[in-house]
């Protein structure tokens, strides 16, 4: 691997854009993702910028248990995100459906059936520190050797 | 609104603000000890009472499995919602999470289970499947296990005069085997959870 | 020559300003919004359907997950409804602890709502300040209940954990910090000229319109309807003695200010609770039985009602939940957004009503 490539890897891992999409959660995980922005946890000090624009995102945080309203929409959204991209499932909902995965429910978990999920953060809801740790662990891998892999 | 800029100037000239601006570091990302995390084993012996599974509100969150060293509860991450009910419900203190066990000790609180069996006499046809399947019945009267006739009134469930009767509901362990074996869905076991204060009575 | 065209502008479901997916469709004439409509359906999980046939210890957690932001009040209303139904007595200490936890939850919810508003009008400094002070509230919530969001604190006949004496000291110290900070931020919000430009006289909901739209919670209280606060009917709050906040302007500014004032009010309620907290047990036991009840309480966003029917074993046979946000969203779309003079104010006005899509759709 060239030196240029490793410099690129390093730099890019410090500049990650995160978008989050709520596919039928209870809001608990939503506000824990928001809490990551707070000065206490301050996700931006790691070079991670959270906003809600999928078109410039690198990491998509998926929250929620996949309700029927999101059929196709989630997939469309996933396609709008430019490569390279990863999705992280935050909370129990996208992993197992949490308490909603019961008879008569409308949700259709897990989300990994619908889009590829790279990492999971269990917990209902996970602590901001846990979300942070997951994003940080995935961040260096998103762009790693992107040019090499593309060729 | 005359000098609206003043609050802002005040804000950035506070000593506290200046100190924070120049010197404060982000707090270390610690998990406080009072946070209820995923339940962990304390190493005490599990007696397979299954109260943890009965109390657990999340589907598929906890299993009690057989290991070479005896029974052992296992928490499934991604299903467990970290509510801590299993910790409170376990009579032996096998699980722990955050400060729950400690709090239960100080506050003298516990969760107690009682069971209620309802037999719908309109649906019951007296087949006796429930009485034969019930593991408590089997212990009390060995004959029951191979479909024999009930010989004593000590039994939990007994079929007489063509209907199932609940004789000693206090012996029920809430396993719901009877419910699963009834062909007519006539018997229904309810697990009643009660949050109580006070010492556990000796059984 | 300037031409104005009528266009229908959809905002959402994914929008940088919305925490949750909702779609607001605006009919506009140039920048002027003629009418707005909200499209829901992205979060429907069917919680009430799942709840049927389950005992309280399962429904309690599902109720909490109707809305993760104001989870404590859902827990409280559901459990208190069961208690009323089967006449389960609650020890004095437990009742006060419930109020403490509920008020902490209200504080964090209000601060979060104000954070969203400030974030939406791009006043990021104040937004981050608020988010920081919210962490102090979350700390206290976590210290008492053991969890930050889904606390699962209230059970029939009492609460789950006691408040320890060393935690009372922490709580008092933290309350002082929170009070000081929130007061300062409130003054910043009050005096900020740019904030005033974006908030005053925007999204006005008059008292008449609020009545017509059945607005509830801080949205209604900002339009001069203090009687909408359900807490005045709650026995424990009655004993503590508190007076609801209200303002008369009815615009975005008033809604945010009402929340600030309620945070301060909550702090004083918690102080009163701590002062009068008696020693004693925290659980009285009691198993819910058969019955049918309609019960309501004051969620951070307004009146929350549960209609519950249980069978003899305490299982929920039928349940329906009426959440506050749906009224406020209606009020927002049909009254506040109408006549907003710029499209840029649409998200901020929508956020100022503190819509919670998760509890609206369940
Ligand atoms: S995992 Fe739990 S807290 Fe998170 S969205 Fe699902 S139900 Fe809510
Ligand atoms: S903590 Fe709660 S959800 Fe997790 S295993 Fe125990 S009872 Fe089940
Ligand atoms: S629940 Fe189990 S112990 Fe109780 S009556 Fe049924 S089979 Fe017997
Ligand atoms: S309750 Fe069901 S299993 Fe038991 S005797 Fe009646 S019909 Fe048979």
User: Taking CA C249 as the corner, what is the angle to CA C246 and CA C250, rounded to the nearest 5 degrees?
Assistant: 85
In the 8-state DSSP scheme, what is residue A131? H
Report the residue of C160, C164, C279 to disrupt the B interface, i.e. the one with the largest count of B CBs within 10 Å.
C160
Asked whether the beta carbons of residue A28 and residue C18 sit closer than 8 angstroms, the reply is no
Q: How much is the pLDDT for C280?
A: 78
Range of the domain at A138: 13-144
Q: What is the pLDDT of residue A104?
A: 81
Domain boundaries, chain B: 40-108, 116-190
Q: In this structure, what CATH number is given to the domain that contains residue A54?
A: 3.40.50.12280
Q: How many domains does chain A have?
A: 1
DSSP helix/strand/coil, A34? helix
pLDDT for the residue B155 = 74
Cis amide linkage into residue C150, ω under 30° from 0: no
B194/C156 touch (CB, cutoff 8 Å), yes or no: yes
| Whole-number pLDDT of residue C165 | 82
ipTM score here?
A: 0.82
CB contact under 8 A, C71 and A68: no
- Look up the pTM and report it: 0.86
- Rounded Cα–Cα distance for residues A94 and A87 (Å): 11
Of residues B112 and B146, more confidently modeled: B112
Omega into A126 within 30° of 0, i.e. cis?
Answer: no
Return the CATH architecture of domain B40-108: 2-Layer Sandwich (3.30)
Which of B39, B78, B82, B97 to mutate against chain A (most A CBs within 10 Å)?
B78
Pocket of ligand 1, candidates A20, A67, A124: which has the most ligand atoms within 8 Å of its Cβ, to mutate?
A: A124
Helix (H, G, I), strand (E, B) or coil at B170: helix
The most distant pair of C-alpha atoms in chain A lies apart, rounded to whole Å, by 56
Q: Ligand 2 centre from B62 Cα, in Å?
A: 7
pLDDT digits (tens, 9 = 90+) for B8-64: 777 778 888 788 778 777 666 777 778 888 888 887 778 877 788 888 888 878 888
**Annotation: CATH topology of B116-190:** Alpha-Beta Plaits (3.30.70)
Let me know if residue A5 belongs to a domain: no
C312 in B contact zone (CB under 8 Å): yes
**What distance, in Å, lies between the first and last C-alpha atoms of chain B?**
73
- C-beta A110 within 6 A of ligand 1: no
At A32 the pLDDT is 86
Query: C92 C-alpha vs ligand 2 centroid, how far in Å?
Result: 29
Q: Check: CB of residue A98 under 8 Å from CB of residue B81.
A: yes
- Kindly list the residues from chain B whose CB atom is less than 8 angstroms away from the CB atom of residue A92: 58, 78-81
pLDDT beyond 70 at B98: yes
Q: What would the CATH number be for the domain defined by C46-326?
A: 1.10.645.10
Give the start-to-end residue ranges of the domains of chain C. 46-326
Average of pLDDT values for B145-171? 72
pLDDT tens digit at each of 362 positions of chain C: 455 566 677 776 666 666 677 777 777 777 777 777 777 777 788 888 888 888 888 888 888 888 888 888 888 888 888 888 888 888 888 888 888 888 888 888 888 888 888 888 878 888 888 888 888 888 888 888 888 888 888 888 888 888 888 888 888 888 888 888 888 888 888 877 777 777 777 777 778 877 887 888 888 888 887 777 777 788 888 888 778 888 888 788 888 888 888 888 888 888 888 888 888 777 877 777 788 888 888 888 888 888 888 887 778 888 888 888 888 887 777 777 776 777 777 777 877 887 787 788 77
Domain annotation covers residue A149 = no
Tell me the chain C residues in contact with residue A35 when contact means C-beta distances shorter than 8 Å: 131, 134-135, 138, 148
Q: Record the tokens describing residue B152, joined without a space.
A: 């004593």
Q: What percent of chain B has pLDDT over 70?
A: 87
Neighbours of B42 (CB within 10 A): 13
d(CA A18, CA C174): 32
pLDDT of chain A along its 151 residues, tens only? 678 878 877 777 777 888 888 887 888 888 888 888 888 887 887 878 887 778 888 888 888 888 887 787 788 888 888 878 888 888 888 888 788 888 888 877 787 888 888 888 888 888 888 888 888 888 777 777 666 766 6
The reported pLDDT for the residue numbered B202 is 39
Closest CA to C225 of C241, C213, C211: C211
Residue B203 in this model has a pLDDT that exceeds 50: no
* Interchain contact, B58 vs A98, CB within 8 Å: yes
**Residues pairing with B95 in the sheet:** B41
**Partner residue opposite B194 with nearest CB, options C142, C193, C285:** C285
């Amino acid at each position: 691997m060239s030196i240029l490539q490793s410099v690129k890897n390093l730099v890019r891992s410090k500049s990650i854009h995160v978008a989050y999409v709520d596919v039928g959660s209870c809001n608990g995980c939503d506000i824990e993702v928001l809490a990551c922005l707070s000065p206490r946890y301050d996700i931006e000090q790691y070079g991670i910028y959270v906003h809600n624009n999928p078109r410039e995102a690198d990491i998509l945080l998926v929250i929620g248990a996949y309700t029927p309203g999101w059929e196709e929409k989630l997939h469309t959204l996933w396609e709008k995100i430019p490569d390279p991209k990863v999705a992280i499932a935050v909370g129990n909902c996208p992993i197992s459906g949490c308490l909603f995965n019961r008879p008569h429910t409308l949700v259709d978990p897990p989300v990994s059936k619908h889009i590829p999920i790279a990492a999971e953060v269990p917990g209902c809801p996970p602590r901001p520190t846990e979300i942070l740790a997951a994003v940080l662990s995935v961040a260096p891998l998103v762009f790693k050797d992107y040019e090499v892999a593309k060729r | 609104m005359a000098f609206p800029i003043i609050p802002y100037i005040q804000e950035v000239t506070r000593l506290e603000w200046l100190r924070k601006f120049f010197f404060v570091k982000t707090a270390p990302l610690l998990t406080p000890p009072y946070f209820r995390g995923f339940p962990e084993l304390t190493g005490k012996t599990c007696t397979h009472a299954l109260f943890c599974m009965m109390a657990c509100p999340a589907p598929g969150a906890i299993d009690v499995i057989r290991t070479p060293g005896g029974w052992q509860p296992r928490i499934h991450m991604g299903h467990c919602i970290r509510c801590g009910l299993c910790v409170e419900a376990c009579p032996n203190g096998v699980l722990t999470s955050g400060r729950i066990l400690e709090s239960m000790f100080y506050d003298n609180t516990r969760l107690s289970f009682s069971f209620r069996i309802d037999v719908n006499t309109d649906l019951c046809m007296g087949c006796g499947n429930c009485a034969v399947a019930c593991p408590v019945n089997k212990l009390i009267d060995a004959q029951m296990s191979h479909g024999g006739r009930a010989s004593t009134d000590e039994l939990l469930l007994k079929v007489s005069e063509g209907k199932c009767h609940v004789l000693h509901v206090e012996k029920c362990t809430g396993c719901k085997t009877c419910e699963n074996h009834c062909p007519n869905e006539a018997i229904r076991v309810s697990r009643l959870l009660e949050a109580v204060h006070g010492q556990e009575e000796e059984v | 020559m300037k031409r104005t065209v009528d266009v229908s502008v959809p905002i959402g479901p994914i929008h940088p300003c919305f925490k949750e997916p909702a779609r607001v469709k605006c009919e506009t004439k140039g920048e002027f919004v003629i009418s707005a409509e909200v499209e829901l359906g992205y979060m429907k999980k069917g919680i009430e359907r799942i709840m049927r046939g389950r005992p309280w210890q399962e429904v309690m957690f599902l109720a909490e997950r109707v809305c993760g932001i104001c989870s404590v009040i859902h827990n409280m209303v559901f459990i208190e409804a069961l208690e009323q139904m089967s006449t389960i007595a609650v020890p004095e200490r437990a009742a006060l602890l419930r109020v403490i936890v509920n008020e902490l939850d209200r504080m964090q919810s209000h601060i979060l709502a104000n954070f969203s508003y400030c974030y939406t009008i791009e006043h990021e400094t104040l937004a981050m300040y608020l988010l920081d002070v919210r962490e102090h509230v979350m700390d206290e919530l976590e210290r008492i209940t053991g969890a930050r969001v889904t606390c699962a604190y209230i059970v029939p006949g009492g609460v789950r954990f006691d408040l320890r004496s060393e935690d009372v000291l922490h709580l008092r110290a933290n309350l002082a910090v929170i009070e000081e900070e929130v007061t300062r931020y409130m003054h910043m919000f009050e005096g900020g000229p740019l904030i005033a430009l974006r908030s005053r006289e925007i999204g006005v909901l008059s008292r008449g319109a609020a009545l017509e739209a059945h607005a509830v919670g801080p949205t209604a209280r900002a339009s001069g309807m203090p009687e909408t606060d359900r807490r005045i009917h709650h026995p424990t709050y009655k004993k503590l003695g508190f007076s609801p906040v209200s303002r008369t302007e009815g615009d975005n500014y008033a809604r945010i200010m009402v929340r600030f004032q309620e945070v301060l009010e909550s702090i004083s309620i918690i102080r009163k609770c701590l002062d009068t907290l008696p020693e004693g047990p925290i659980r009285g036991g009691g198993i819910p039985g058969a019955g049918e009840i309609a019960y309501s309480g004051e969620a951070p966003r307004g009146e929350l009602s549960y209609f519950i029917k249980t069978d003899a074993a305490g299982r929920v046979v039928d349940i329906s939940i009426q959440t506050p946000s749906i009224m406020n969203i209606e009020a927002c779309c049909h009254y506040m957004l109408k006549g907003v003079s710029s499209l840029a104010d649409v998200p901020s006005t929508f956020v100022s009503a503190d819509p919670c899509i998760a509890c609206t759709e369940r």
